[in-house]
A and B are shown apart, each in its own frame.
Chain A
Amino acid sequence: MKYVSNLVLGFQNSLVYRANFFISLVTRLLQVGLSLLMWRALYLESGQNTIHGYSQTHMMQYLILTGLLSLIFTFEPLFRLARQIKTGKISTLLLRPINLNLESLSNFVGAKLVLIILLGVLIVVLTSGQGFSTILILLYALVSIALWHQIMFLLGTLAFWLVQMWPLRPVISALYLFCGGLLFPLDVLPTWAYQGLRFSPLALVSSDLVQTVLQGSRQPQLLFLYLGLTVVWLIALVGLSRWLFRVGLHKFEGVGV
């Protein structure tokens, strides 16, 4: 129940700081727009109707969907945890009978609640008539949100060691754009790179999820594989975060208490 209250708080907080939401929306749309313009130019310059099996329409659909998904996948959990560690405010949270990871997750889900509901509706609309596959894709999307949060939480624990966190922003952003397939579908990469990246957490939560939505029930075995791997990554990263957090706490000096 305490996490539900925290989720509601996160939701209310997102309503109070509406400007943050709109600014994030505009900057993400800029990024999507850039990818669309780049690919429009590529189709034009190459003189081909399809590139790597993608028609221009198919490519635009893919880029728009990964772009929309990136509205949910923001870096707030990372910098929120880092701020709590840097300011020492985490001390007050450590005294409470709560799991900090779940507290962060509930806050993140609350902050993104409207977008998560919209994503659910979009998935239902795009995969309508596919029955059980739709439910599995919805489940895959929810696990992906938890996995994304876990990646951010894990990186946030680096604040126990790092003095400055700002350099993480551009590098994670670039990694997400590249490995998450926001610049291009990952299967346009050379085979070795594609096979190396397609099962990474960033690909699973973004590129693979969108491909699953677009391909629907044509490849049900792939849907099971992606969902299973997302769960495995989630469990592994939860374990790693717990360990890193415990080690980090030994370095923590509780400034601000």
Chain B
Amino acid sequence: MSFRLYGVLAQQSFKTFLTYRMTSVLVVLFGFMFTAIEIAAGFVYYSFAHRIGGLNFLQYEILIMSLTSITTTYQFLFVGAHESLAGDLIEGNLDYLFLRPLPSYWYYALRQLDFPSGVNLLVYMPVTVFLLTRFPLSWSAWGLIFVIYVVGVLFVFALNQIVVEISFWYDNLTALNGVPEDVISAASRPARIYPRWLQLILSTILPVLALSNGIVTVTVKQSTAVRMLIPLVIVTVLLLVFSFYLWQRGTRHYVSAN
């Protein structure tokens, strides 16, 4: 898929954003409300203790804001496609996709940008960076933060992509769609509050703790953050490959209903 085509798709999404103004405004507001609630919960927790799981209040807020930045970037880039795949499969709308001389996997995944999430991101990113600047970080630390952020977005994409691709075989499995969101949200606390065995699982097999705690760990100990990043990279690559494989199998299994 060329940059020119992506530009056209982005323009289309932006026009949709401007056309459905009320929806767009509400989506932006909902996004901010969600984050405000998470931050308020942090205030409550830290009114009882100065440190939780080795993190102080500022670090806890970095954890929340960095995770929110990662998930909001995913929403900005990919959520539009993921939200419509199950419906498109049932209604036979993928026919139009296969008629085009384009790699269907990437075309479908990238075809719609969610600009309201983009507006949220315009706030979350600077806030996260500002909070991080409260710590003396070297250039290599900033580089590491950037890598965790990019790999984190790809991880969330791959996880959600696999879940929605299951719709090729099972319809009405609606509860599954919320699973990545719930799993990520369940990891949105300081890593050390989890029991050791759970930390191990959530750092290696399903490295959601690296996703939530990776960036804030850079402010504590850079080498630990690197150790968290490695399984995240490996699992993300595996998930991406698997999601691509599932897409190939799924599209072969797909029968037009249109």
Across the interface, which residues of A come within 8 angstroms of B53, CB to CB? 41
In the bound complex, how far is the Cα of B48 from the Cα of A188, in angstroms? 10
- Cβ distance A187 to chain B, nearest Cβ, rounded Å: 11
In the bound complex, how far is the Cα of B172 from the Cα of A17, in angstroms? 8
- Mask, A8-52, CB within 8 Å of B = 1, is 000000000101110110010011011001101110011010011
Residue contact A175 to B37, C-beta cutoff 8 Å: yes
Residue contact A162 to B26, C-beta cutoff 8 Å: yes
Q: At the interface with chain A, which of B127-135, B144-152, B173-181, B215-223?
A: B173-181
The one of A42, A175, A188 in contact with B33, judged by C-beta atoms closer than 8 angstroms, is A175
Given contacts A42-B49, A46-B48, A178-B37, contact A167 B31 (CB under 8 A): yes
The one of A27, A45, A79, A167 in contact with B52, judged by C-beta atoms closer than 8 angstroms, is A45
Interface residue? B111 (CB, 8 A): no
Residue contact A174 to B38, C-beta cutoff 8 Å: yes
Residue contact A166 to B83, C-beta cutoff 8 Å: yes
- Cβ distance B34 to chain A, nearest Cβ, rounded Å: 5
Given contacts A163-B23, A170-B30, A178-B41, contact A30 B186 (CB under 8 A): yes
Across the interface, which residues of B come within 8 angstroms of A24, CB to CB? 175
In the bound complex, how far is the Cα of B195 from the Cα of A189, in angstroms? 27
| Total interface residues in chain A, CB < 8 Å | 41
Across the interface, which residues of B come within 8 angstroms of A147, CB to CB? none
Closest A residue, CB atoms, query B40: A178
In the bound complex, how far is the Cα of B48 from the Cα of A184, in angstroms? 12
The one of A42, A171, A177 in contact with B30, judged by C-beta atoms closer than 8 angstroms, is A171
Residue contact B23 to A164, C-beta cutoff 8 Å: yes
Interface residue? A168 (CB, 8 A): yes
Q: Which residues of A contact B (CB under 8 A)?
A: 17, 19-21, 23-24, 27, 30-31, 33-34, 37-38, 40-42, 45-46, 48, 51-52, 79, 161-164, 166-171, 173-175, 177-178, 183-184, 188-189
Q: Which residues of B contact A (CB under 8 A)?
A: 20, 22-23, 26-27, 30-31, 33-34, 37-38, 40-41, 44-45, 48-53, 79, 83, 116, 170, 172-176, 178-179, 181-183, 185-186, 188-190, 192-195
Extra pairs beyond A19-B173, A170-B30 (11, CB < 8 Å):
A20-B172, A23-B179, A27-B178, A45-B50, A45-B51, A45-B52, A161-B23, A163-B23, A164-B23, A166-B83, A170-B181
